Amino acid sequence: MTQQVNDGHDGTTTMVTSRRGFAEPARWLAIYALALIFLVFGLSKFTAGAGEGLAPLVSNSPLISWWHDVFGVAGTAPAVGSYEVLTALLIAARPINPRLSMIGGAMAVILFLVTLTLLFSTPGVPASDPGPFPLSMLGQFLFKDLGLLALAFMVFAGSRDEVAWRKLR
């Protein structure tokens, strides 16, 4: 919503966009963008070769290498994919039940915290050519999860606030 505001100094008016003008659609865009990312990445884990693609990330991680013992190399990708698809569905449930979205947001935060640890355990993450920010393409792919972690936390916090607000009504 745009409104005119008299700034009071020289009689001029300024057009100001209220927070509600862009914040509301941006919030919903963020929620559904994150849900879509999880849905697409989750479904891709059910494709042929997905297990082999994840294998070097999982096997070199002291935090999650046990997944191969539990699910096997071929079964790890579908297990992670199931987690990601469930996360997407829970996040997308925000209009129906913000508590479900809060759970999905927490699941997203956990996943991105785990994937960020792969920056430190996966061979080939540092670029062979040192520069101002020496990350390989794999390292850059993992590093972008820092922004997605922030988005996931925003979805979690917003859903949590919505749950609390609905209790007060």
pLDDT digits (tens, 9 = 90+) for 94-121: 999 999 999 999 999 999 999 999 999 9
Domain assignment present for residue 4? The answer is: no
Residue 140 has pLDDT above 60, yes or no: yes
Confidence at residue 88, expressed as pLDDT on a 0 to 100 scale: 98
Burial tier of 32 (Cβ tally within 10 Å: 0-12, 13-18, 19+): middle
Domain assignment present for residue 1? The answer is: no
Domain assignment present for residue 102? The answer is: yes
Residues 22-27, mean pLDDT to the nearest whole number: 89
| Residue-range definition of the domain harbouring residue 50 | 27-168
Domain assignment present for residue 91? The answer is: yes
Domain assignment present for residue 70? The answer is: yes
Confidence at residue 132, expressed as pLDDT on a 0 to 100 scale: 79
Task: Check if the beta carbon of residue 4 is closer than 8 Å to that of residue 14.
Answer: yes
Domain assignment present for residue 2? The answer is: no
Domain assignment present for residue 18? The answer is: no
What value does the mean pLDDT of the chain take?
90
Handedness of CA 94, 97, 99, 103 (dihedral sign): negative
- Per DSSP, what are the bridge partners of residue 13? 6
Domain assignment present for residue 12? The answer is: no
Confidence at residue 21, expressed as pLDDT on a 0 to 100 scale: 78
Asked whether the whole model's pTM tops 0.95, one would answer no
Residues 39-50, mean pLDDT to the nearest whole number: 96
Residue 10: band (very low, low, confident or very high) from pLDDT cuts 50, 70, 90: low
Q: What is the domain count for the chain?
A: 1
